[in-house]
Chain A
Amino acid sequence: MKHRYLPMTEQDQKDMLETIGVSSIDELFSDIPEAVRFTGEYKIKPAKSETSLLKELGRLAAKNSNAQDYASFLGAGVYDHYRPIIVDHVISRSEFYTAYTPYQPEISQGELQAIFEFQTMICELTGMELANSSMYDGGTSLAEAGTLAAGHTRRKKLLVSSTVHAESQAVVQSYADGQSIEVVTIPHTDGVTCVEKLKELIDDETAAVLVQYPNFFGQVEDLQVMGDIAHANGALFVVSANPLALGVLTPPGALGADITVGDAQPFGIAESFGGPHCGYFAVTKKLMRKVPGRLVGETTDDQGRRGYVLTLQAREQHIRRDKATSNICSNQALNALAASVAMTALGKEGVKEIAYQNIAKTAYARQAFEKAGFDVKFGPAHFNEIVVDLKSPIKEVNKRLLGQGIIGGYDLSLVDANLANHALIAVTEQRTKEEIDAFVQELEAIHA
């Protein structure tokens, strides 16, 4: 069999079999019992050459409407943001992407240091004392925050705000099911967590209060009030934050968060149909030894030179096995690298600028909608998303928009029956004034 990934020659094969002392490769599989031996070949599609496979997959890709060809106003947890060109150049360096977990620090200093820098940047943005090297995504990161809290407080109830992303709520529920933890949803009023209801629901069985910042409806909630309530009841306060929004928003660490999680996708990571993205997980010092996943720490070598290693590994599955509190092994290292490069490129000034542009453009869109006679729901405290009543079923509206080169907002009737005809509209810095105006005009035309 000749294939560009397989260097074996007939002569090699002959020589190797001889060294092993067998006459055929088949003999090496003689330990597989006849009864379970698979003979023949898989009934799968035949191999394709590089050229024809590129063509075929190119055709499949072309069937998808993408954010390069369309102006996208779709967010709801995944955003079309500025992705500095340099990000792809760095993550394409194969010393990074063809390596695995840095088990051998002497030849993995590049990856280890990059993660150490990632951990630092996440701390800076979130105002937390330490951060791990990444989690699968924002949803599982939030779920693990919930189970951490339950383990830490030895309590079996989580209060999750209904303004948390619906899919993240569902993931929290699945993880909680595994550990027989009860999940209670806190209702919202006017697009924000109902604080009165939170006070009613919280009790001395509550392990944590989980909220989102900005929340699913784009609203920026007052964290401190909810954090205080959590703490007064001996519960942890968990915040799922969009890290890019933290360019302008007070960091959760300064507002009482014990755990801040989220997804770093807004920093240089492609939407990629929902994954891979990059969960992050940041905590206060007192929770350091409970953090799931890998942590990189600074140390020195035998000559006193600074270097980095995986550390505090006694928390992890490969050491603790069934006593581990998390099973995570592989994480999202390459995307943490991508996010680091994007955070570095934006830097101290850029992260403020980009966050500000998101708010300003969304505020502009809000006015434009109002001017055009659409009702924008909820208060003015938004980041880059608003809820707009488009007066017709969103599925139909979006179909018409697509014909005009626009990917419309998220259909909120999918998560809340009271929000039929309402779309969650995201306006990132990528959207130009022209696109926003055209979008509103199209909607007016549809409505007319």
Chain B
Amino acid sequence: MHNENQSLIFEISKAGRVGYSLPELDVPELDVSSILPKQLIRTEDAELPEVSELDIMRHYTALSNRNHGVDTGFYPLGSCTMKYNPKINEAVARFPGFARIHPLQDESTVQGALEVAYDLQEHLAEITGMPQVTLQPAAGAHGEWTALMMIRAFHEANGDTQRTKVLVPDSAHGTNPASATVAGFDTVTVKSNDNGLVDLEDLKAKVGPDTAALMLTNPNTLGLFEEEILEMAKVVHGVGGKLYYDGANLNAVMSKARPGDMGFDAVHLNLHKTFTGPHGGGGPGSGPVGVTEELAAFMPKPVITKVDDRFVLNYDVPQSIGRVKPYYGNFGIYLRAYTYIRSMGPDGLKAVTEYAVLNANYMMRRLEPYFDLPYTQHCKHEFVLSGRRQKKLGVRTLDMAKRLLDFGYHPPTIYFPLNVEEGMMIEPTETESKETLDNFIEAMIQIAKEVDENPEIVQEAPHTTVIGRLDETKAARKPVLRYTKEA
């Protein structure tokens, strides 16, 4: 079995098998050509699989066994907050009163759903310190773009059309500069200093009357808190720019600092990270945006509000940037986030951050003797090691990541942020026990030893996975992006 290819669902298909059950048609048969023009009636079948229900279940069970999730094992993927995904969330999202409601039903028939949305907005407003929140964006990047569009609309409303530049630190997530571009701005990169923080002098040199906004992640992607945040806010606000907070990493500061109190004008959150909307193998996410009263006038439509004791969808937002998504955001995901917040309460959320930061610092200090640690101050929810030392011995960070697979771990985020050579970004989260952290640390230490004593075992890893290292060059050079039946 080990050396055989995992079948594609198309390869186990056999004409004559079905996996569905539809009721018999209970209305008269129809000759489709009596209502549709001939050229619009399909003549060639879509080659979808023909399989039984058991075939399907076995197939996907086999695939799931070739996949590592948080429930499988430790997953310290930095910047992704791979914490436990509570099962109550899944149960709630499947209540028919939530799962089987239509977005265009009359408001009066979806008061429960609107109440969830409204109350979540209120909770997120308190958590971020931003007075207004929209739940419309579908993910973090979508939230970034939404907020930038609001900032753009704000400047334009003030006649400030020369504000064409968005400043982004070099340690920023790739979506930050990409979102700036998609929102029509030019990106200006701000350097980091030797402490891994934004270089204030460089920032001062780069702001000006053309500054629309500074996008900042705090703590930044190195897991470090931007201590000079108030000074940065002063600099940016001083030239009339806005301050944008990438809140994908809120796990680090909940109950400790709020973007609103730090002087930020807009913030997005990744509910699929800090707030346990499951990561889903890459999504769906939810990326609400919180803004100041000043920017609130530009929020996407509709705005979910409360009038007396009714929850309403308000479309009367004259300066709105418009819609960023059909309907009201990824309700099923933010419903899960709401369930999580309600499960934790204020003391719970505070403990989340405290334990996430405690776990990260503990791991960092225990691993410090074995790997280079470019920035030595206390970290927040994550930290970045460098594989420089091991690279000199001919072993790259990629190799060490692959070796971790043999120990049953998902490796850290690697080669990010870009300002760390051979970076390994480790984020344990608060839902992992000390025993789990210790076992992982021991594995890392063993790998460091292997690099010294037996580098081949690391360079040739992984040894125990269902498949070895895959040829990515081949995949890109001659792309095969779909299955084609052999003739």
| Chains A and B bind each other | yes
| Nearest CB of B to A441, in Å | 16
| Nearest CB of B to A289, in Å | 9
Contact A273 B140 (CB under 8 A): no
- A124: nearest chain-B partner, CB-CB: B46
Residue A305, interface by CB 8 Å: yes
Contact B20 A345 (CB under 8 A): yes
Cα–Cα, bound, A433→B273 (Å): 45
- A327: nearest chain-B partner, CB-CB: B178
Contact B470 A318 (CB under 8 A): no
8 nearest CB pairs, A to B: A274-B327, A47-B345, A61-B97, A274-B103, A334-B280, A110-B67, A63-B112, A333-B282
Residue B358, interface by CB 8 Å: yes
Cα–Cα, bound, A43→B474 (Å): 54
Contact B345 A110 (CB under 8 A): no
Known: A90-B64, A347-B17, A410-B104. 6 other contacts (CB 8 A): A31-B227, A67-B100, A105-B470, A250-B40, A250-B43, A322-B187
| Nearest CB of A to B453, in Å | 23
Cα–Cα, bound, A86→B253 (Å): 40
Q: Identify which of A76, A100, A247, A344 contacts B51 (C-beta below 8 A).
A: A344
Residue B22, interface by CB 8 Å: yes
Residue B66, interface by CB 8 Å: yes
| Nearest CB of B to A249, in Å | 6
* Contact string against A for B residues 45-78, beta-carbon threshold 8 Å, 1 for contact and 0 otherwise: 1111111010011011111111111111001010
| Nearest CB of A to B56, in Å | 6
Residues from chain A with Cβ under 8 Å of B345 in the complex = 44-48
Residue B193, interface by CB 8 Å: no
Contact A94 B71 (CB under 8 A): yes
| Nearest CB of A to B337, in Å | 12
**Interface-forming stretch among A50-58, A226-234, A369-377?**
A50-58
Residues from chain B with Cβ under 8 Å of A6 in the complex = 348, 351-352, 355, 430-431
Cα–Cα, bound, A5→B349 (Å): 11
Residue B247, interface by CB 8 Å: no
In this complex, which of A61, A96, A313, A350 has the most chain B Cβ atoms within 10 angstroms of its Cβ? A61
Cα–Cα, bound, A66→B97 (Å): 5
Q: Identify which of B39, B115, B348, B366 contacts A222 (C-beta below 8 A).
A: B39
Contact B70 A99 (CB under 8 A): yes
Contact A64 B35 (CB under 8 A): no
Q: Identify which of B60, B129, B476, B481 contacts A114 (C-beta below 8 A).
A: B60
Residue A184, interface by CB 8 Å: no
Residues from chain B with Cβ under 8 Å of A15 in the complex = 434
Residue B159, interface by CB 8 Å: no
Residue B289, interface by CB 8 Å: no
- A333: nearest chain-B partner, CB-CB: B282
Instruction: State the interface size on chain B (CB cutoff 8 A).
Output: 211
Can you spell out 9 A-B residue pairs with CB atoms less than 8 angstroms apart? A12-B434, A109-B67, A113-B66, A247-B42, A271-B99, A307-B470, A359-B36, A429-B23, A433-B27
Known A19-B362, A137-B325, A273-B328; judge A324-B181 contact (CB<8 A): yes
Contact B325 A28 (CB under 8 A): no
- B142: nearest chain-A partner, CB-CB: A136
In A361-406, the 8 Å CB interface with B consists of 361, 363-364, 380-382, 395, 398-399, 402
Residues from chain B with Cβ under 8 Å of A333 in the complex = 280-284
In this complex, which of B46, B57, B286, B350 has the most chain A Cβ atoms within 10 angstroms of its Cβ? B46
Known A63-B112, A361-B27; judge A140-B138 contact (CB<8 A): yes
* Contact string against B for A residues 24-43, beta-carbon threshold 8 Å, 1 for contact and 0 otherwise: 01011111110111100111
Contact A317 B341 (CB under 8 A): no
- A394: nearest chain-B partner, CB-CB: B106
Residue A159, interface by CB 8 Å: no
Contact residues on A (Cβ < 8 Å of other chain), bracket: 35 or more
Known A53-B343, A296-B481; judge A64-B330 contact (CB<8 A): no
Residue B285, interface by CB 8 Å: yes
Residues from chain A with Cβ under 8 Å of B175 in the complex = 317-318, 327, 329
In A123-163, the 8 Å CB interface with B consists of 123-125, 130-131, 133-134, 136-140, 147
Contact B468 A74 (CB under 8 A): no
* Contact string against B for A residues 389-430, beta-carbon threshold 8 Å, 1 for contact and 0 otherwise: 000000100110010000100100000000000000000010
Residue A121, interface by CB 8 Å: yes
Q: Identify which of A22, A61, A92 contacts B112 (C-beta below 8 A).
A: A61
Residue A205, interface by CB 8 Å: no
Contact A62 B112 (CB under 8 A): yes
| Nearest CB of B to A384, in Å | 12
In B150-207, the 8 Å CB interface with A consists of 152, 168, 173-175, 177-184, 186-187
Residues from chain B with Cβ under 8 Å of A429 in the complex = 22-23
Q: Identify which of B186, B348, B466 contacts A3 (C-beta below 8 A).
A: B348
Contact A331 B181 (CB under 8 A): no
In A200-225, the 8 Å CB interface with B consists of 220, 222-224
Contact B56 A86 (CB under 8 A): yes
Residue A17, interface by CB 8 Å: yes
Cα–Cα, bound, A63→B332 (Å): 16
